[in-house]
Amino acid sequence: MGSSSNGNWEPPQGSWASSAARRRNMQAIRSRDTAPEVLVRRLVHAQGLRYRVAAKPLPGLRRTADMVFRPAKVAVFIDGCYWHGCPEHYVPPKTNEGYWSDKVAGNMARDADTNQRLVEAGWTVLRFWEHESPGDCALAIAATVSRLRAQRS
């Protein structure tokens, strides 16, 4: 463990958390089944659509979509404003800025790469921000899935 001359705990050099409390807080953040995600899923399910949750759209790709409609080839992502760099709501961190800014930039790059790989494989990618209306998201998902199912029939 790191320490400083005033006796307060400091993280070891290169640590991702600025304090033990911050580390616990960040580890407690859910990566799936977030409130916006669950609400959108409920609304989509209520429209009679069935899907896979937290599934890999492509077998060789180590990335999961929040909702996957395999026959229609639709992958849905509900992105958190902080973790995915929402242009409207992202606020850069005040502590350990370099680490967290790099982390978010990496997430954004991975999101773009995921989109590209899925589109190249014939998938439709739908991305929504956590702040968007769950009802609007569910309607857009249902419309897209229904349209693509009809085209494939």
CB-based contacts of 75, cutoff 8 Å, min separation 6? 57, 65, 67, 68, 69, 118, 123, 124, 125, 126
Residue pLDDT, tens place only, 62-95: 999 999 999 999 999 999 998 999 999 988 888 8
CATH 3.40.960.10 residue spans of the chain:
31-152
Q: Which pTM value belongs to this model?
A: 0.80
The CA distance from 126 to 124, in Å, is 7
- Measured CA distances, 105 to 82, 97, 108 (Å): 11, 12, 5
pLDDT of residue 106: 96
Q: Which H or E run contains 39?
A: helix 35-46
Strands (E), 64-123: 65-69, 74-79
Q: What is the pLDDT along the chain (153 residues), one digit of tens a residue?
A: 444 444 444 444 555 555 666 555 555 555 678 999 999 999 999 999 999 999 999 999 999 999 999 999 999 999 999 899 999 998 888 888 888 899 999 999 999 999 999 999 999 999 999 999 999 999 999 999 999 999 987
Give the tokens for residue 79.
Answer: 């992105």
CATH architecture of 31-152: 3-Layer(aba) Sandwich (3.40)
